[in-house]
Amino acid sequence: MTFVSTADLLAILPELMVMAGGCLVLVLAPVISEARKEWLVYLSLAVLSAAFVVSYWFMGPLIGSPRSVFSGLYVLDAYGAFWKLLLLVVSALIILLAKAHLKLEGMDLPEFYAFILLSLAGMMVMVSGTDLLVIYLGLELMSIALYIMAGFKRYALRSLEAAAKYFILGSFASGILLYGISLLFGRTGSTTLVGIREGIAGLPPGDPILMLAMGLLIVGFGFKVAAVPFHMWTPDVYEGSPTSVTAYMAVASKAAGFAAFVRVFMDALGGAQDSWQMLLVACCVATMILGNVVAIAQTNIKRMLAYSSIAHAGYALIGLVAADAFGIASVMLYLALYAVMNLGAFAVVTMLRRGGLEGDEIDDFTGLARRNKWAAFVMLLFMFSLAGIPPTAGFIAKLYVFTAAVGAGMAWLAVLGVVFAAVSAYFYLRVVMVMYMREPGETVGTPGYDVRVVASPATIAVLLIAALGVLVLGVFPDPLIQAAQSAILPLR
Amino acid sequence: MRDIILNTTALPHLLTLLIALPLVGVAMMAFFKDDAAAKRIAFWTTGSEFVLSLPLYLWFDPATHYMQFVEIVPWITAPSINYAVGIDGISLWLVLLTTLLTPICVVCSWTSITSRAREFMIALLVMETAMVGVFCALDFVLFYVFWEAMLIPMYLLIGVWGGANRVYAAIKFFLYTLAGSLLLLVAIIVLYFEGGHTFDILALSRASYSETLQAWLFWAFFAAFAVKVPMFPFHTWLPDAHVEAPTAGSVLLASVLLKMGAYGFLRFSLPMLPDASQRFTPAILALSVIAILYGAYMALAQSDLKKLIAYSSVSHMGFVTLGMFVRNTQGVEGALLQMLNHGITTGGLFLCVGLIYERTHSRQIAHNGGLSKSMPRYATCLVIFALSSLGLPGTNSFVGEFLVLVGSFMYSKTIAALATLGIILAAVYLLGMVQRVAFGVSIEKTARLNDLNWCEMATLVPLVILVFWIGIFPNPFLEPMHASVAHMFEVMDRESVLP
C-alpha cells in the first residue's frame, strides 16, 4: 500500500480544479450579493477553461503511452483526455445556455453552476477510472448532481416528478450495476479492469456467473446511456427537467456513460467479447427501432428529442458492438458530433416562449421562420444534422458507425441502421416543416400563437458555436476524426 | 488513380470553381437584405457560372477516355476519402446542362416568386453546387455527400414555394429518395472493404467482385438510382413533386435530378458490377418498357399539364434506362444524348407550363385553350418543345430515341417494337395537348392574355436553339462521348483483379 503521491494528485489536476470550483461556487452562492451573482457564471467558466487547458496539455504526450496512477485505480490516457475535453466544452456551453434560461424560467440560483461542475467532476472520474468502484463513484457523483438538477424548477410539478422518477430508477440501476460489480469481484477476485481481464482469462467460456455479471453491467450502463430496454425513464425525465438540464443529460451524461461503457467492456471484458456482443447487438437493434419509431408519435419537442436521443444511443452502440479500433473511434466521434447538434437543438428550445411558459411543443415552432429566421435556420441545420443528411456533422457520425459495422462483418446492422435513419428523417423534418411551411397562428388557440423568441447574447453564442460546429465538422471533420482515432483505447 | 490526366493548361481549379461559385453567391446575399438584390446576385452568379463552364467543352479532349480537369485533395485521412473531381465524356454534358438551366430557373422565378425570394435564390444556388458536384465527383463518398445534400434545398423548394399540397409532396419526395440513397450508402461502405479499401470511383470500377456480392450491391444501387430516375414502380413521388413544385423546382427536378439516377446507373452500376448488370438486364429492360408504356398511358389520361409532362418524363426516362441496359454503344450513347434531350425539352415544357400558370393561375388543359391567337410566340415555343418531346425528326429527341431504338433492336426486336409503341403514344398525348392548348377553342379568359415578353423569351430561346442544334447536327454532342463510352465497355469486360 502506497501513500498518495504528488504525481498522483498532479495527474488528476483537472478533476481537482473542477471539483474545487464546484465547491467554491456552492459556498459563495448563498453569500454573494444579488448584483454579483453573474460572477459565479464567469468563475465557473474560468474553472472550466483552466481545466480544459490543463487537460489539453496533458493529452498530447499521453497518445500511445497511458500513465497509471493511484496504484492502478485511475489512468491518465488519451482516451480519457478526449472525453474530458469533450465534457468540458459541453459543460461550458451548458453554463452559457443556463445563464439566460434560468432567468427566463425564474430559477436563477447560482447553485446550478455548482451542480454542473460537481456532476462534471463525476463524469471526469468516470471516464478515467480503471477500477469498477472508482467508475461507480464517478457515476454516482454525476448522477446525484443530475437528480438535483432535474428537480431544479422546484415549484413545477413536472420537474419534481422528473427528479423523483430519475432518482428512484437511477438508484435502482446503480444498485444493479453494483450487483454486477460484486459478482465480477466474486468470480475474478478483483475490481480493477486489469484484474478482471486476467481473471476472465482463466474462466471457462460461457461461465454463467460471468454472463450474469455482464448482463447486470449492461443494465447499469444501458440505463445511463438510455439504451432500450432501459430507457423508460428518458422521455418523462427529459420532458420534465428544465431544458438546460435535459440538454446536459442528453449530451454529457450520455457521453460519459458511453466512455465508461466502452472502457469496461473493451478493457476488462474484452476476453468475453463473444458473449456480450450478442447481448449488445440485440440492445442496439431494439434501441434504434424503438427510439426512431416512437419519436414519430411525439408532439412535445423535448419528448421527441428524448426518443431521438435513445435512437442515437442505438447508433453509437453500433461502434461498441463492432468492438474494434475503428468501432471505438466511431463511438467517440459519434458522441462528440452528436453533442454539438443536440446542444444546438435544445438551445433553440430554451429560447422559445409561449406566453409565460417555455415553448416546448412542436406546434410552438409553427411559422418560426416568419418570426425569427435565424432561429429557424439554425434549428433546420440541427434537424438535418440529427437526421444525418450531409454536409452536416450528423452525416459524418453515421458514416463512421456504419463503416465500423460493415468493417466488423455486420453489414446487416448497417442496413438496419439506415432503414431507421430514413424513418427518423420523418420526425426531424416535421419540425422543419412546421417552421418553414406553416404560417404562425394569429388567434388564440392556433399553433404558434403568442410564441416569441427570447435571444440573449449567451444563448446566441451557444447557437453560433453549435451551428458552426455542425457545418464545419460536417465539411472538415478530419481534425476531430484524427483526434478520436489517435485517442482510442489500446486494444488487447 | 492512374486513369487520370491533369489538364494543367486549362484553368487548374475550374471544376472546384464551378462547385464553389454558387456558394460565394449565397455568401454575398447575406450582405443584402432585399429580395431584388438577391435576385440580381443569383442571376449574375449563375450566369457567370454558365460562362465559366463553357471552357469545359472548349478545352475538352474528346479523343481520350481519361478524366479531365481533375483535381484531388485529401479530405479525410482514415479511411482515406478524397475531394476528387473530374469529368469525362459521360459527365460533360450533364454539367453543362446544369449550368445552363440554373440561370434560366433564376430568370423564370424573377416575377413568379414573390415571398421570401432571397431564401428561394439561396436554395437554388445551393442546389447548383450540389448538382454540379454530383456529376464531377470521383470519390464515392464525395458523390454521396452531394447526392444527399441536394435533398435539403429541393425539399424546401417544393415545401415552401410549392402549390396547395406542397407539404405532402415535399416529404414524399424526401423520404422516397432518402430511403433509396441510404441503401446506396451501405453499398458504398461495403465496396470500400471489398474493392481494396478505397472510395476512388475509378479504382472501384477496376476491382472485381464475387457474383453474390455484385447481386446485393446491384440492388442497393438500384434502390437509390431507380427512385431518382424514377423507374416503374418507384415513380409515384414524381407526379406529386412536379405538380406541387414551383416552376424552377420542376425544371431542375425534371432536367437535372432525374438525370442523376441515370448517371448513377451508367457511372456505377454498369462498370462496377458488370456481371450483375448482365444478369439482371432482363428485369431492368422489362421495367424500362413498362415505364415507357405505363408513363405514356398515364399521360394520356391527364388533364393537368404538369402531371401530363411528369408522366411523360417517366416514359422518356424509360428510354434512357432501356438504352443503358441493352449495353451496346448505340444504346448507351443514345441514352446519354436522350438524358441531355430530356433535360432540354422537358425543361422547356415545364417553363411553358409555368408561364401560362402565371397568367391564368390554372394548369388545367381545359382552362388554357386557344393560346395561339393571343400568345403566338408562346404557342410556337410550346409546339416546338412538344414536337421535340414526341421525337419528330429534325429535333433533338429524334436522334436520341433513334439511337436507343437501334441499340434495343440489336438486343431484342420485341423490346424495340414495344418501345416504339411508347413513341406513338407520346405523339397521341402531346399532340392532343398541343391541339387543345395552342389551337383549341379560345375561352374568354385566354383571349386577352399578353404574349411573352423578352425576358420570358430569353428563358425559352436558348432551349429552342438547342432542340434544333442537336436535332440537325448531333455530332458535336455525340463526339465527346465516344471514347468514354467505349472505355466503359472495356471496363465492363475486364476479368483480372486489380488492387
Cα–Cα distance between B148 and B306 in angstroms, integer?
25
Question: Cβ contact (<8 Å) for A429 and B149?
Answer: no
User: Which residue in A433, A434, A470 has the most chain B C-beta atoms within 10 A of its own C-beta, making it the best mutation to test that interface?
Assistant: A433
3-state class (DSSP) for residue A22: helix
Chain A interface includes B189 (CB < 8 A): yes
Question: Which of A412, A432, A435, A481 is best to mutate for the B interface (most B CBs within 10 A)?
Answer: A432
Distance CA B172, CA B151 (A): 12
Give the pairing of strands A74-76 and A352-354. Answer: unpaired
Mean pLDDT over residues B2-12, rounded?
56
Q: What is the pLDDT of residues A116-137, one digit of tens each?
A: 999 999 999 999 999 999 999 9
- The answer to whether the CB atoms of A437 and B152 lie below 8 A apart is no
B residues 47..76 contacting A (CB < 8 A) = 75-76
So what's the pLDDT on residue B4? 56
Please judge whether B166 and A419 are an interchain contact, meaning their C-beta atoms are less than 8 angstroms apart. Answer: no
Provide mean pLDDT across the span B60-65: 86
Q: Name chain B contacts of A421, Cβ cutoff 8 Å.
A: 182
Q: Judging by beta carbons within 10 Å of its beta carbon (0-12, 13-18, 19+), is residue A117 exposed, middle or buried? A: buried
Chain A positions touching B169 (Cβ under 8 A) are none
Any CB–CB contact under 8 A between B170 and chain A? yes
Q: Say which DSSP state A316 is in.
A: H
Chain A: residues touching B (Cβ < 8 Å) = 373, 384, 389-391, 395, 399, 402-403, 406-407, 411, 414-415, 418-419, 421-422, 425-426, 429, 432-433, 436-437, 477-478, 481-482, 485
CA A406 to chain centre: 25
Sign of the alpha-carbon dihedral angle for B48, B50, B53, B59: negative
**Backbone region of residue A453 per phi and psi (left: phi > 0; alpha: psi in -120 to 50; beta: other values):** beta
Half-sphere exposure of A88 toward its Cβ, with a 13 Å CA cutoff? Answer: 25
- Per-residue pLDDT at B10: 56
pLDDT 10s digits, B315-371: 999 999 999 999 889 999 999 999 999 999 999 999 999 988 888 888 888 787 778
DSSP symbol at B10 = S
Query: Which residue in chain B has the smallest CA separation from A403?
Result: B189
- Report CB contact under 8 Å: A414, B179: no
Q: What is the pTM of this model?
A: 0.94
Contact B79 A403 (CB under 8 A): yes
Measured between alpha carbons, how far is A217 from A209 in angstroms, rounded to an integer? Answer: 12
**CA–CA separation, A399 vs A390, rounded Å?**
10
**CA nearest B192: which of B260, B261, B257, B143?**
B143
Which chain A residues are within 8 Å of B237, Cβ to Cβ? none
Spatial separation of the C-alpha atoms in residues A195 and B362, rounded to whole Å: 78
Do B157 and A374 form a contact (C-beta atoms < 8 A)?
no
CA neighbours within 13 Å on the CB side: how many for A235? 17
Question: How close A441 comes to chain B (CA, Å)?
Answer: 17
Task: Output the CA torsion sign for B79, B80, B81, B86.
Answer: negative
Is the bond preceding residue B230 a cis peptide, omega within 30 degrees? yes
Q: Taking the CB of residue A211, how many other CB atoms lie within 10 A of it?
A: 15
Mean pLDDT estimate for chain B: 88
pLDDT of residue A360: 87
Is the C-alpha dihedral spanning B419, B425, B426, B427 positive or negative? Answer: positive
Tell whether the model's pLDDT for residue A203 goes beyond 60: yes
Across the interface, which of B151, B183, B193 has its CB nearest the CB of A389? B151
Query: B174–A429: do the CB atoms touch at under 8 Å?
Result: yes
Quote ipTM for the complex: 0.93
Reported as a single tens digit per residue, the pLDDT across B232-277 is 889 899 999 998 899 999 999 999 999 999 999 999 999 999 889 8
Interface of B with A in 130-169 (CB under 8 A): 141, 144-146, 148-149, 151-152, 155-156, 159-160, 166-167
Chain A with chain B: Cβ pairs closer than 8 A: 81
Measure A321 CA to nearest chain B CA, in Å.
17
Q: Residue A33: is it exposed, middle or buried by C-beta count within 10 angstroms (0-12/13-18/19+)?
A: exposed
B229, B116 contact by CB (below 8 A): no
Beta strands at A352-354 and A451-453: parallel, antiparallel or unpaired:
antiparallel
DSSP lists the bridge partners of residue A68 as A75
Average pLDDT, chain A: 91
pLDDT digits (tens, 9 = 90+) for A417-434: 999 999 999 999 999 999
Residue B497 — pLDDT band, cuts 50, 70, 90? very low
B197-214: per-residue pLDDT in tens? 899 998 888 888 888 999
Strand partners, B74: B82
Torsion-angle region of residue B267: left (phi > 0), alpha (psi -120 to 50) or beta?
Answer: alpha
Biggest CA-to-CA distance, chain B: 71
**Chain B environment of A429 (Cβ under 8 Å):** 155, 171, 174
B68 has which bridge partners? B87
Tell me the C-alpha distance between A192 and A134, whole Å.
Answer: 9
Contact residues on chain A for B219, CB-CB shorter than 8 A: none
pLDDT digits (tens, 9 = 90+) for B83-136: 999 998 899 999 999 999 999 999 988 888 888 888 899 999 999 999 999 999
Q: What is the pLDDT of residues A316-361, one digit of tens each?
A: 999 999 988 999 999 999 999 999 999 999 999 999 988 878 888 9
Question: The cell 416529404 sits on which residue?
Answer: B171
In the prediction, which pLDDT does B11 show? Answer: 65
Give me the pLDDT at residue B496, please.
47
Residue found by looking up cell 425534371 in the block: B254
Model confidence band, residue A35 (pLDDT cutoffs 50, 70, 90): confident
User: CA A235 to CA A237: how far, in whole Å?
Assistant: 6
A-chain residues within 8 Å CB-CB of B190?
Answer: 406, 411
Q: Which three cell numbers stand for residue A172?
A: 435502482
Q: Report the share of chain B in percent with pLDDT over 90.
A: 53
Beta bridge partners of B137: B85
